[in-house]
Amino acid sequence: MDLPVVDLAPYLDAAACGGGGGGGGGPDRRAEEEVVALCAAVSGSLRDTGALLVKDPRCSAEDNDRFLDMMERYFERSEEFKRLQERPNLHYQVGVTPEGVEVPRSLVDEDMQEKIRTMPKEFQPYTPTGPDPKWRYMWRVGPRPTNTRFKELNSEPVIPEGFPEWRKTMDSWGSKMISAIEVVAEMAAIGFGLPKYAFTSLMKQGPHLLAPTGSDLQRHGSEGTVFAGFHYDLNFLTIHGRSRFPGLNIWLRNGQKMEVKVPVGCLLIQTGKQLEWLTGGECLAGMHEVVVTKRTLEAIDLAREQNRSLWRVSSTLFAHIASDAMLKPLGRFAESSHVNMYPPVCAGDYVEQELSVINLKGKTSGYSQALVGANKTMSFML
Ligand SMILES: O=C(O)CCC(=O)C(=O)O
Ligand SMILES: [Fe+2]
């Protein structure tokens, strides 16, 4: 089974003509029907696979390359240099996270480990043995709230010295990928029968993070090395541009494991836990891992031949629900039979308790521990 590729252009065209699939006088009937069908394809794929490939004419391969070139140069700098951008007191939500800090959920969550044991052998994820050996850089994109209870999640950016193009490159690629996510979020809302702005209105001033991972394939390039252990993303929707090295495996709702191939010019969208919450489990957060596979090894050989960087940089952006907004099942999803698993919670409180579990934030309060217990789903478990 291949993931569907949805071209966002017809929706963007219809929106520019005052249509946009949500009603309101589109240019012609056929175009409107096409848009409605695309919205259904978006919501259907997010529900059934937890993922989706999209083409957005506003996100070019050149933008993606400029970003990857700069991040390769950054990750190639010494550990000592990169640690100057480390901000553990801000829960690593800006600046760099060194290798060996972020813990994959499957390493610490006993329920998840139990569920993994019940999976057919061929679909089981690799077993991580410790924290992830990947670095990461977190760059906050878009307007920040002037008044928030969650200051650490909405902190000032960190810019490494010697990269004068940093802000422009990160903001430009980050805002383009957010624009793509916003369109997907509108289309998904329409496809689910919710008001068009049901999700995007909650995303306004969210702590969206351009969060590329950097993995040193020279040091950790043997087959089976787990760069990011089996986990779900705690945010709303994740978007990945192209990486120069493959290695991402995702799990479909039916439990099947799938190696992702992102065609040139496409972007990969994955469902996060906040979308699961807002849809009362109609969509489940997509489980995934990043591992050195045979295809990664082939890409390493080619990069060596062509004298290119051996840092695997991901083009990951985490789109979030605003920290001070409430997560709770929306519209018809409030009637879901699983609604008890998704008690109302402030998005910022939810994010902080998840960060605590994966070792990015200090202690966790009794309240948040209760929340961890309330929700222990995995993408193919409902
Ligand atoms: O490195 C990647 O391709 C994605 C890593 C990932 O899953 C994450 O950052 O949450
Ligand atoms: Fe992830």
Torsions phi, psi of 223, nearest 5? Answer: -60, 135
pLDDT at 215: 96
Between vectors from CA 70 to CA 87 and to CA 292, what angle results, nearest 5°?
80
To the nearest whole number, what is the mean pLDDT of the chain? Answer: 89
Give the residue, 139 or 27, on which the prediction is more confident: 139
Residue 233 Cα: closest atom of ligand 1: 10
pLDDT at 130: 85
* pLDDT for residue 371 is more than 80: no
pLDDT at 181: 98
- Residue range 169-205, pLDDT digits in tens: 999 999 999 999 999 999 999 999 999 999 999 999 9
Could you tell me the domains of the chain? 51-374 (2.60.120.330)
Look at residue 42 and give its three-state secondary structure.
Answer: helix
Look at residue 49 and give its three-state secondary structure.
Answer: helix
pLDDT at 365: 42
Q: Which residues surround ligand 2, an ion (CB under 5 A)?
A: 233
Look at residue 6 and give its three-state secondary structure.
Answer: strand
Q: Tell which one of 71, 236, 316 to mutate to probe ligand 1, the residue whose CB is within 8 A of the most ligand atoms.
A: 316
pLDDT at 19: 61
Residue 247 Cα: closest atom of ligand 1: 3
Q: Which region, left, alpha or beta, applies to residue 92 given φ > 0 means left and ψ of -120 to 50 means alpha? A: left
Q: Could you tell me which residues come within 8 angstroms of residue 1 by beta carbon, excluding any fewer than 6 positions away?
A: 49, 252, 256, 258
* pLDDT for residue 368 is more than 50: no
Q: Find out whether the beta carbon of 273 lies less than 6 Å from any atom of ligand 1.
A: no
pLDDT at 191: 97
Dist CA 348 CA 321 (whole Å): 9
Q: Find out whether the beta carbon of 243 lies less than 6 Å from any atom of ligand 1.
A: yes
Q: Model confidence at 377, in pLDDT bands (50, 70, 90)?
A: low
Q: Find out whether the beta carbon of 316 lies less than 6 Å from any atom of ligand 1.
A: yes
- Residue range 204-263, pLDDT digits in tens: 999 999 999 999 999 998 999 998 989 999 999 999 998 999 999 999 988 999 999 888
Q: Which of 280, 275, 279, 243 is nearest to 262 (CA)?
A: 243
Dist CA 218 CA 268 (whole Å): 26
Q: What are the tokens at 215?
A: 């993995």
* pLDDT for residue 379 is more than 50: no
pLDDT at 93: 85
* pLDDT for residue 366 is more than 60: no
**Ligand at shortest distance from the CA of 291:** 1
Q: What are the tokens at 354?
A: 């998840």
Q: Which of 357, 311, 285, 329 is nearest to 49 (CA)?
A: 285
- Residue range 93-123, pLDDT digits in tens: 899 999 998 888 888 888 888 989 999 999 9
pLDDT at 105: 80
Q: What are the tokens at 98?
A: 């060194």
Dist CA 210 CA 169 (whole Å): 11
Helices (H), 192-235: 200-203
CA 288 to ligand 2 centroid distance, Å: 6
Contact 238, 275 (CB under 8 A): no
In this structure, the residue with its CA closest to atom 6 of ligand 1 is 228
Contact 97, 360 (CB under 8 A): yes
Give the residue, 290 or 151, on which the prediction is more confident: 290
**Alpha carbon of 311 to those of 69, 185, 212, 252: distances in Å?**
10, 32, 11, 28
Contact 375, 329 (CB under 8 A): no
CA 73 to ligand 2 centroid distance, Å: 23
Give the residue, 2 or 21, on which the prediction is more confident: 2
- Residue range 123-138, pLDDT digits in tens: 999 988 888 889 999 9
